Amino acid sequence: SDLQKQEERGELLQPLTFVLLVLCSVLLYFKVSLMDPGFVKSEEEVKAGNIEEQSMVIPQVPSNIKMRRCGYCMVKQPMRAKHCQLCQHCVRRYDHHCPWIENCVGEKNHPLFIAYLSVQLVVLLWGGHVAWSGLYFEQSWDWLQHNIFLLMSFLLIVIFTIVVLLLLISHLYLISCNTTTWEFMSHHRISYLRHSELENPFDQGVILNLWRFFC
């Protein structure tokens, strides 16, 4: 492959960069998997009226919608929080439970989740290029026997690249609208959205939505 040829020539910049990107993606994976996604804690009930999420709700959200108590963990749910059956916790600004990381994606780890997807996409694209550069096609059984592993690796990389790309695009779109996967999929079942005069009462424009999310 191209990286192997560069390493043999003593040109280590790109091989080291590739290794560092892979290491970065692994570290981001464990960070997003193991960190608190924004669990709602019982001691926060007293401060529930002053939490940041409430201050972000704009006037179009009906004032008669009160914070409800979760029937599972018995804490008062802030606006945009949802109970996750798999994590057994209510999560602030709940987006979804990701089986990929075995953790919820919520208020605290959502930006890092986007960073992880972005780095992973770069690694997959680069890895696909490396795998393709090592393939020299010949119509023979011996060639297939010697290259079957590399060929299967390339096909798997292509599949994962498509999945990660679609996931990243969908999340960036939802972020630009200041909505979550859960709100987007269950709009008709969420009281503060169903009773709102606006389709999305949290949308403050693409630039401000992105700024609030990432900064």
201 near 61, Cβ under 8 Å?
yes
- Residue 73 annotated among the catalytic residues of the structure: no
Concatenating the DSSP letter of every residue in 108-167 gives: TTHHHHHHHHHHHHHHHHHHHHHHHHT----SSHHHHHHHHHHHHHHHHHHHHHHHHHHH
Measure CA of the first residue to CA of the last residue in the chain; give whole Å. Answer: 39
Give 60: exposed, middle or buried? Use CB within 10 Å, 0-12, 13-18, 19+: exposed
Q: DSSP code of 40?
A: P
Strands (E), 35-88: 82-84
CA distances (Å), origin 181, targets 33, 44, 88, 192: 18, 25, 19, 15
Give the residue from 45, 93, 43 showing the smallest Cα distance to 69.
45
Among the options 73, 98, 104, 177, which is catalytic?
98
93 near 180, Cβ under 8 Å?
yes
Catalytic site positions: 98
